[in-house]
Structure formats: structure tokens, C-alpha cells
């Protein structure tokens, strides 16, 4: 395990933000985590003691990421499903105390610094609020909650208690997204007028169920009571990206949802299409479906000077560099100069004149789900939330829930003022 642990300075370098402008770094407070010297030989008391609640598919992956973070100790695990409960014990070599009930866990293990919550959506709010009220910092998977009221309750509780509530929007820690964002802020793609985001899969999105009475527990994503379907599970990531890059809170959303292909008793839409409006007139158009995967997923961030496709790590200019001879020709004509036009230059070297597929935004080998925990562990150790980090996850969840409302009611839904979280300055 030891060899996988990296120095924080290395992270920053890898994150491609090492050389960033101080103004940009200051605008992304959670990058602080990577800017500081890494503490070698920390005393045991300096360790961050974390418990994982909900060790299902995502929880397992998160747990394994956490095990690679410096100075993090997994002291307890909790899952109310026997196979996952046992698996969690195995994953922690029996070192973590195991529970079926998070309340019992909070009572029994006194010195938990933080919990990671990766239960199904409807099981987020009450667990998170219980932990915050017990003065425990929380990392909770996206989306935040099944309802607007629960979402707000979670945020309000965290703020009132002065505790960290970090939402699993891992793109906020992704070097490619950060690098691209810096370039957006520096004006490289001009004014963003549209983010066109989509997530397409071709699969029924069901999980095998060992016995019928477990259907709703295992396939919670299929039922409105537990999940917002594609919106809370997939769109939350991408609408967060749109809000972040446009740097505004939407004013309204319209949309249409249907069960179009997978008519197998599910309640959630298998096909959604929405438009989010922003105060400056820009829009995020969003669609998701699970009966065709040709286009995959992307957030196409479009400005008048360029386009960013962060999922595939590409940036495109609206005016890619010109062949030198032609550049001179155009300049000459515009200046009424009639010089000889040089041709046969270097640009025609076949192997350098590759197809214009845009440029790579940033080299990236890291795992953003891991990086977000490096940030989280640091915040827990400092006992202080990063300014504006919760705001991103909060607005993403509000946005997808309002989108659901628009589709359910077939009406344009305005963003209620009480669900706007102001920026910390």
C-alpha cells in the first residue's frame, strides 16, 4: 500500500495546477489541500479516523481509495446488507469495527473524525444529519438527497454545526477539469454560451437480485421513492460542471422525461431532455438515455473562441493555427500587398500535419475519486470546510431535483430564491 501513497506536491504537479496563477488558485479554495507540505511521520493522533457507511458498489471503491490516502485510518464500516457488511470487514482485514446501523456505530466508536456516506440516495439525508449532529465531518456521495427539503436540511445543518459536508462531485478535483477551468477563466474559449451535456448508455441499468424480496433494495435506482433515476445518478455530475464553468446559478429549467425503451416495471425515466437557463442568457442543454451508447458522455463547453470536451480531455480553437503560407497570403490580401506566396513549407510533413482533433487539455493519470479524498482528509485534519465547495454539490443536487420537477409537472420551473447558496468571499 505504502508505495501508492503520493506526496501532495506531486499531486499538485500532476493536477497541472502547480504553475497556476495565484488568482486562480485562490478561486478554488479546495486546492489548498495540495499546496501544502506533506507531513511525514505524523503522530497517530494526527491521523484522520474515518468510517464508511454504505459499502455497496460505490462504497467499496471509495473505501479502497481511502486506504491509499496518507494518514487516513478506516476505523469503522457500516452496511445493513449482510453480504456487503461481511465484504467490508474483509476489505479492512477485520481492523475496522463493523456495524449494521450507523447510529449504533456513532454511539459505539467515540473518536470518529469523519464518515463517508455511500448509501442509496434516499438513505443520505438522515444519516448525514445524524453524523453532523454528532459533530462528525461528512463526505456524502452525490446527489445529496431525494428531496429539496432534505438537501437544504443537510446543508443548513453542516453550516450551523460548522462541520465539513463534502459531496462526491469528483470532477471538482479532476486535473483536466481544473486546468480547463483555468483556461476558461483566462478567456481562452471566450464567452461560454452553451454547455451541451449528455450521458448515453445502452443497458437496462439493473443489477442481478439474489431473491425477489431484495428487488427494491438492490435496484433502488429504478424506483421514485429512492432515486431520481438518470437525473440524480448521472446528470448531477454534468450539471455541476455546467454551473461551475458558467459560474452562475440557473434561473429556470424546462424538460421532458419518459420511459421510452426499458418498459420493465421501472418507475424512473429512461430518457430525459432538459434546458437550464442562466442569468446571462447562456444555457445548459442536457440529455440522457440508456438505449444507445454511440455518443457516450461529454460536457461540451462552447465559447465563441473555442470548445472544451473535458471527458475526452480536449480543447478546440474556433480558429486553429493556419498554414504559414496561407496565413501570409490572407494578411497580404487584407493589406493590399501582392508578394509572392511561399508554398511547400513545413506544414505538409505528413506526420506532423495530423488531423485536427483538438489539443490535450492536461496530462492526467490520476484518479479524481482518490484526489477528492486527499482534499477531504486535509480539511478534516484542519477541522475546517473549504469555502464554496459544498455550494457546488448543493446547486448540482438542487438543479437535478428541479429538473425532475419540471419533467414530472411538464412545466417550466423557476429556481426558488431560498435554494440559492451565496458564494463565500
Partner 1 sequence: MSEQPIFNDSFFAMGTRCDVVFLNIEQEFGEQIFHLIKNEVTHLEHRMSRFIPDSPLSELNKAGKNEWIPVTDDLWNILTICFDFYQMSNGAFDITAAPIIKLWKSNKPPTKDEIEKAKQISGFDKVEFDFENQKIKFKTDGLEFDLGAIGKGLALDSIKPIILKQGIENGIISFGESSILALGKHSNGKNWPLGIRNMYNFNKFVHVFSTSNETITTSATILNTDDGGVKKRKHIISPVSGLPVEVNKAVSIKSESATLGEFLSTSFLILPENDKIILSEKLKKIEILEVEYLDDNNFKSKLTIL
Q: Could you give the CA distance from residue 19 to residue 25 in angstroms, rounded to a whole number? A: 10
Nearest to 115 by CA among 54, 24, 58, 171: 54
Select from ligand NAD, partner 1, none the partner in contact with residue 141, using the beta carbon and a kind-dependent cut-off of 5 to 8 Å. Answer: ligand NAD
Residue 350 interacts with partner 1 (CB under 8 A): yes or no: yes
Select from partner 1, ligand NAD, none the partner in contact with residue 58, using the beta carbon and a kind-dependent cut-off of 5 to 8 Å. Answer: ligand NAD
Q: Which is nearer to partner 1, 29 or 358 (CB)?
A: 358
Q: Could you give the CA distance from residue 357 to residue 166 in angstroms, rounded to a whole number? A: 36
Among 35-43, 49-57, 256-264, 332-340, the segment contacting partner 1 (CB under 8 A) = 332-340
Residue 70 interacts with ligand NAD (CB under 6 A): yes or no: no
Residue 130 interacts with ligand NAD (CB under 6 A): yes or no: no
Q: Residue count at the site for ligand NAD (CB under 6 A)? A: 23
DSSP assignment, residue 234? I
What count of other Cβ atoms lies within 10 Å of the Cβ of residue 151? 24
Q: Which is nearer to partner 1, 281 or 344 (CB)?
A: 344
Q: What are phi and psi of 316, to 5 degrees?
A: -125, 140
3-class SS of residue 75 = strand
Positive or negative torsion for Cα 413, 414, 420, 423: positive
Among 16-24, 26-34, 73-81, 379-387, the segment contacting ligand NAD (CB under 6 A) = 73-81
Residues forming a β-bridge with 276: 253, 284
Residue 138 interacts with partner 1 (CB under 8 A): yes or no: no
Binds ligand NAD (CB under 6 A): choice among 6, 49, 84, 171: 84
Contacts of residue 86, defined as CB under 8 A and 6 or more positions apart, other chains included, come to none
Contacts of residue 191, defined as CB under 8 A and 6 or more positions apart, other chains included, come to 303, 304
Select from ligand NAD, partner 1, none the partner in contact with residue 53, using the beta carbon and a kind-dependent cut-off of 5 to 8 Å. Answer: ligand NAD
Q: Which is nearer to partner 1, 334 or 365 (CB)?
A: 334
Q: Could you give the CA distance from residue 191 to residue 189 in angstroms, rounded to a whole number? A: 7
Q: Could you give the CA distance from residue 95 to residue 209 in angstroms, rounded to a whole number? A: 30
Minimum separation from the CB atom of position 291 to partner 1 (A)? 24
Minimum separation from the CB atom of position 58 to ligand NAD (A)? 3
Among 49-57, 130-138, 317-325, 351-359, the segment contacting ligand NAD (CB under 6 A) = 49-57
8 Å CB contact between 406 and 235: no
Q: Could you give the CA distance from residue 304 to residue 214 in angstroms, rounded to a whole number? A: 51
Q: Give the x-and-dash track for 143-182 against ligand NAD (CB under 6 A).
A: -------------------------x-x------------
Q: How far is CA 295 from CA 66, 136, 191, 199, 208, in A?
A: 32, 41, 25, 8, 26
Binds partner 1 (CB under 8 A): choice among 64, 160, 260, 330: 330
Among 140-148, 228-236, 298-306, 355-363, the segment contacting partner 1 (CB under 8 A) = 355-363
Q: Could you give the CA distance from residue 213 to residue 208 in angstroms, rounded to a whole number? A: 12
Binds ligand NAD (CB under 6 A): choice among 69, 74, 96, 118: 118
Q: Which is nearer to ligand NAD, 315 or 377 (CB)?
A: 377
8 Å CB contact between 87 and 110: no
Residue 204: CA count within 13 A, CB half-sphere? 10
Binds ligand NAD (CB under 6 A): choice among 6, 115, 116, 120: 120
Select from ligand NAD, partner 1, none the partner in contact with residue 322, using the beta carbon and a kind-dependent cut-off of 5 to 8 Å. Answer: partner 1
Binding site for ligand NAD (CB under 6 A): 53-59, 78-81, 84, 102, 118-121, 123, 141-142, 168, 170, 233
Amino acid at each position: 500500500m505504502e508505495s501508492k501513497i503520493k506526496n501532495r506536491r506531486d499531486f499538485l504537479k500532476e493536477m497541472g495546477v502547480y504553475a497556476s496563477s495565484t488568482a486562480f488558485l485562490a478561486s478554488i479554495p479546495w486546492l489548498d489541500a495540495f499546496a501544502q507540505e506533506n507531513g511525514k511521520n505524523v503522530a497517530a493522533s494526527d491521523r484522520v479516523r474515518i468510517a464508511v457507511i454504505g459499502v455497496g458498489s460505490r462504497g467499496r471503491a471509495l473505501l479502497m481509495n481511502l486506504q491509499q490516502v496518507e494518514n487516513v485510518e478506516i476505523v469503522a464500516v457500516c452496511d445493513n446488507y449482510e453480504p456487503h457488511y461481511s465484504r467490508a470487514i474483509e476489505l479492512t482485514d477485520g481492523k475496522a469495527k463493523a456495524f449494521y446501523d450507523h447510529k449504533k456505530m456513532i454511539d459505539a466508536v467515540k473518536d470518529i473524525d469523519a464518515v463517508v456516506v455511500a448509501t442509496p440516495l434516499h438513505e443520505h439525508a438522515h444519516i448525514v444529519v445524524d453524523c453532523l449532529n454528532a459533530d462528525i465531518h461528512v463526505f456524502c456521495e452525490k446527489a445529496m438527497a431525494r428531496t429539496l427539503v432534505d438537501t437544504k436540511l443537510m446543508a443548513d445543518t453542516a453550516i450551523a454545526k460548522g462541520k465539513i459536508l463534502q459531496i462526491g462531485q469528483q470532477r471538482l478535483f479532476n486535473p483536466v477539469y481544473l486546468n480547463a477551468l483555468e483556461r476558461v477563466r483566462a478567456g481562452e474559449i471566450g464567452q461560454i454560451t452553451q454547455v451541451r451535456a449528455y450521458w448515453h448508455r445502452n443497458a437496462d441499468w439493473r443489477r442481478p437480485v439474489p431473491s425477489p424480496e431484495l428487488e427494491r433494495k438492490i435496484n433502488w435506482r429504478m424506483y421514485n421513492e429512492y432515486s431520481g433515476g438518470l437525473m440524480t445518478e448521472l446528470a448531477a455530475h454534468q450539471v455541476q460542471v455546467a454551473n461551475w464553468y458558467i459560474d452562475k446559478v440557473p434561473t429556470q429549467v424546462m424538460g421532458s422525461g419518459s420511459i421510452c425503451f426499458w418498459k420493465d416495471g421501472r418507475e424512473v425515466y429512461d430518457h430525459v431532455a432538459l434546458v437550464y437557463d442562466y442569468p446571462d442568457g447562456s444555457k445548459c442543454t442536457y440529455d440522457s438515455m440508456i438505449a444507445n451508447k454511440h455518443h457516450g458522455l461529454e460536457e461540451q463547453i462552447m465559447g465563441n473562441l473555442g470548445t472544451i470536451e473535458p471527458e475526452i480531455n480536449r480543447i478546440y480553437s474556433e480558429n486553429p493555427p493556419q498554414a504559414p503560407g496561407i496565413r501570409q497570403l490572407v494578411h497580404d490580401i487584407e493589406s493590399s500587398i501582392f508578394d509572392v506566396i511561399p508554398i511547400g513549407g513545413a506544414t505538409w510533413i505528413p506526420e506532423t500535419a495530423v488531423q485536427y482533433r483538438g489539443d490535450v487539455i492536461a496530462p492526467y493519470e490520476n484518479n479524481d475519486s482518490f484526489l477528492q479524498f486527499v482534499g477531504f482528509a486535509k480539511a478534516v485534519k484542519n477541522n475546517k470546510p473549504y469555502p464554496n465547495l459544498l455550494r457546488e454539490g448543493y446547486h448540482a443536487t438542487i438543479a437535478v431535483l428541479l429538473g425532475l420537477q419540471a419533467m414530472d409537472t411538464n412545466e417550466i420551473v423557476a429556481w426558488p430564491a431560498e435554494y440559492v447558496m451565496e458564494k463565500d468571499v
